[in-house]
Amino acid sequence: MTLLMQAHDVRLHYPVGGGLFAKKGLVKAVDGVSFSLRAGQTLAVVGESGCGKSTLARVATLLETPTSGELMIDDKPTVSVDAAARKALRLSVQMVFQNPYGSLNPRKTVGDILQEPLVINAQGNAAARQQAARAMMAQVGLRDDQWGRYPHMFSGGQRQRIAIARALMLNPRILVADEPVSALDVSIQAQVLNLLMDLQAQYGLAYLFISHDLGVVRHIADEVMVMYCGRPVEHGPKASVFATPRHPYTRMLLAATPSVDPTQRKTHLTIKGELPSPLNPPPGCAFASRCPHATSLCIEQRPEPRLLEGHLIACHHAEVIG
54 found inside a domain:
no
pLDDT in tens, 238-264: 999 999 999 999 998 988 776 555 555
Residue 306 included in any domain: yes
Residue 186 lies in a domain: no
In a domain, 189, yes or no: no
Instruction: Tell me the whole-structure pTM to 2 decimals.
Output: 0.91
Model confidence band, residue 4 (pLDDT cutoffs 50, 70, 90): very high
Report CA torsion sign: 273, 275, 280, 281.
Answer: positive
H-helix or E-strand spanning residue 23: none
Q: Could you tell me which residues are beta bridge partners of residue 206?
A: 174
The whole-chain average pLDDT of the chain stands at 90
Does 221 have pLDDT greater than 70?
yes
The helix/strand/coil state of 68 is strand
| Whether the Cβ atoms of residue 39 and residue 2 lie closer than 8 Å to each other | yes
Number of domains in the chain: 1
Beta-carbon contacts of residue 115 (< 8 Å; ≥ 6 apart): 129, 130, 132, 133, 169
Residues 6+ apart with CB under 8 A from 223: 41, 42, 43, 44, 235, 236, 237, 238
Write the DSSP symbol of residue 278.
Answer: T
- The domain of 255 spans 245-322
Distance (Å, rounded) from C-alpha 113 to C-alpha 107? 9
For residue 204, being part of any structural domain is answered with: no
* Cβ–Cβ under 8 Å, residues 47 and 271: no
Asked if residue 308 is part of any domain, the answer here is yes
SS3 state at 262: helix
What is the predicted pLDDT for the residue at 50? 85
The pLDDT tens digits for 58-84 are 999 999 999 999 999 999 999 888 888
Query: In this structure, is residue 268 part of a structural domain?
Result: yes
Q: What is the pLDDT of residue 19?
A: 64
Instruction: Kindly state whether residue 188 falls inside one of the protein's structural domains.
Output: no
